Amino acid sequence: MSLQLWTYLVVGATFALYIGIAVWSRAGSTSDFYVAGGGVHPVTNGMATAADWMSAASFISMAGLISNMGYGGAVFLMGWTGGYVLLACLLAPYLRKFGKFTVPEFIGDRYYSQTARNVGVICLLVASITYIIGQMTGVGVTFSRFLGVSSDMGIYIGMAIVFAYAVFGGMKGITYTQVAQYIVLILAYLVPAFFISLALTGNVLPQLGLGADLKGTDVSLLAKLDQVLNDLGFGQYTTSVAGSKLNMFFYTVSLMIGTAGLPHVIVRFFTVPKVADARASAGWALVFIALLYTTAPAVGAMARLNLIGTVNTAVGVEPDPAGGVRVNAEKVKASADLLAPEAALPYEQRPDWFKRWEKTGLLKFEDKNGDGRVQFYNDKTKSEAVKAKAEAAGLKGNELTVNADIIVLANPEIALLPNWVIALVAAGGLAAALSTAAGLLLAISSAISHDLIKGAIKPDISEKAELLAGKIAMAGAIVVAGYLGLNPPGFAAGTVALAFGIAASTIFPALMMGIFSKKVTGSGAVAGMLAGLFVTLFYVFAHKGIFFVKGTEYLDLIGGANSFFGITPEAFGTVGAIVNFIVAFAVSAVSKPVPAHIQALVESVRVPKGAGKAVAH
């Protein structure tokens, strides 16, 4: 059976499953729509939370980033998983004890201020809309490659599928759909990893394969990858750090506290009956998340070795004519010149997967020296030895551009795995993007219908009217998300990291101070959130060229690129959070003290015992 037919069958079957679940579990009340009635089992909620949390960034991009960055890519592993632990231990049980539908509702009640609630809505919308751009882009990339349609058409199809199960099912439909999506995405991630690890190292578990020797040799996979990348000028895979260690630390912290502040993940803990169930579901979610996150480093390393081995015959990891990849032990042990012209793949002999990904524009070849071969190396290397070898070989620069986002999706094709495995990966990529998109859309919808309309504009709205408003708001959010996916703004390249930075600098500090401090006032919280948001957006947009001052280069506004102690825009959420905390406590110190009943409320929230069902006020 052809790859195209396999893809249509597998992806079509998963879409039918999602829509079927939505019809079965459609929401009939605001409680169903916002928190699935508050009766979801902890294991089910843990699986749904894992799918909600593991977005297209986790499934599609993370292993690609690790593959490109090497050790420096650990910021994503440490940041995202560490952030989830923060959320599970420091926020989730206490927010569940509070028993509200949304994050802005908690902020409004804790800080006894409608203004604080409205600012919370703004921060939530900015973070969620920014984050959703990346999900829609992931949907477009996956559709365009595997289903033979344009990226734009892929986004339209994705919008229709999300509309079918999110608008009618609300949180109830999304929860059970996400359980199915988790099963699809985790199988899609693990199955190719098992195949490739077994082929390269003889270990079926990629976690063991990463530290093992290549099959038939006494050379470890990582040692070989280090040698190959050094010879090609890319640097040591196992020690490379992008930027300074201070930036790496700030980036990790930004991702951690940004993860803990993501509203669409936090609301998942309102869907279980009790506080104890919130803790249990957090633990189960960590188990389900760990299955993918402990596999990602191996996927990244093996994919990098496979990719280079495909276009460079001297590496020793090469396509197997019988299918899959194989290790050529003699070549692995030999110290061949990887920059020798004859080692490069003749472009006319490029494999089918190469041709298919070229059509997407995410893989590009430019024959700079006119020899008809694919020269793949780092022409910006600092290594004088590599520069000298490249010049002696007549190379005119790197000729292959590989987008990091294709690493996971293309990996099974590079390794010549069966067509059904490649189709499964396509379904997994779509499941990851759609599951997170649905959670974000619900967070946006509830912020508009529950926090703005019911909380500020029309407090006496009926439950039926609020439910309708929620569905209309979600439909509108899908349209906006689709538009942004079709027409991404100029700073879209860093949208996922930016979303985490916004959540880190606004929502996380407000929640932490709301739970663990009785001294922070409403005016302090508002000032802190606005200060954190402004500082973060200013630094990011100044780098991306959004601001313009007549006669002034935009980077001059902040003193040049990465001017704040070498910290990159993606890592600046940590600075924004620090500013938030400082401003909030400073303003609170000169404000009227927090009312006694609010202090008592904070005290009761910190005792995670016996919470009832979430109720709307």
> Tens of pLDDT along 280-333?
888 888 899 999 999 999 999 999 999 998 889 888 888 887 777 888 888 888
Q: Identify the architecture of domain 3-300+417-605 in CATH.
A: Up-down Bundle (1.20)
pLDDT 10s digits, 118-131 = 998 888 888 888 78
Q: Average model confidence (pLDDT) for the chain? A: 82
Q: How confident is the model at residue 552 (pLDDT cuts 50, 70, 90)?
A: very low
pLDDT top residue among 546 and 335: 335
pLDDT 10s digits, 384-433 = 888 999 888 888 889 998 887 788 888 888 888 888 988 898 888 888 87
Structure pTM? 0.82
Rounded to whole angstroms, the Cα distance separating 8 from 565 reads 50
| Poorest-pLDDT segment among 5-9, 133-137, 292-296, 474-478 | 133-137
67 and 197 Cβ atoms separated by less than 8 Å: no
Q: Which two tokens stand for residue 559?
A: 């003193």
pLDDT top residue among 241 and 345: 345
Q: What integer pLDDT is reported at residue 83 of this predicted model?
A: 87
Q: At 392, is the secondary structure helix, strand, or coil?
A: helix
Burial class (CB in 10 A: 0-12, 13-18, 19+), 541: middle
- Helices 419-446 and 151-162 cross at an angle (nearest 10°) of 60
Q: What integer pLDDT is reported at residue 70 of this predicted model?
A: 83
Rounded to whole angstroms, the Cα distance separating 286 from 268 reads 14
pLDDT top residue among 589 and 55: 589
Instruction: Please list, residue by residue across 403-415, b when 16 or more beta carbons sit within 10 angstroms of its beta carbon and e when fewer do.
Output: bbbbbbbbbbbbb
Q: What integer pLDDT is reported at residue 527 of this predicted model?
A: 96
Residue 614 has pLDDT above 80, yes or no: no
The predicted model gives 204-212 an average pLDDT of 93
Q: How confident is the model at residue 548 (pLDDT cuts 50, 70, 90)?
A: very low
pLDDT 10s digits, 439-493 = 788 788 888 887 788 877 888 888 788 878 878 888 888 888 888 778 765 444 4
pLDDT top residue among 616 and 519: 519
Cα dihedral sign, 307-310-311-312: positive
pLDDT top residue among 409 and 204: 204
Domain boundaries, the chain: 3-300+417-605
Q: What integer pLDDT is reported at residue 491 of this predicted model?
A: 42
Q: Which two tokens stand for residue 365?
A: 């070849």
Q: Which two tokens stand for residue 57?
A: 């960034």
Amino acid at site 122? I
For every residue of 243-300, DSSP letters joined together read S-HHHHHHHHHHHHHHHHT-HHHHGGGGSSSSHHHHHHHHHHHHHHHHHHHTTHHHHH
The predicted model gives 27-53 an average pLDDT of 71
Phi-psi region of 334 (alpha: psi -120 to 50; beta: other; left: phi over 0): beta
Q: What integer pLDDT is reported at residue 197 of this predicted model?
A: 94
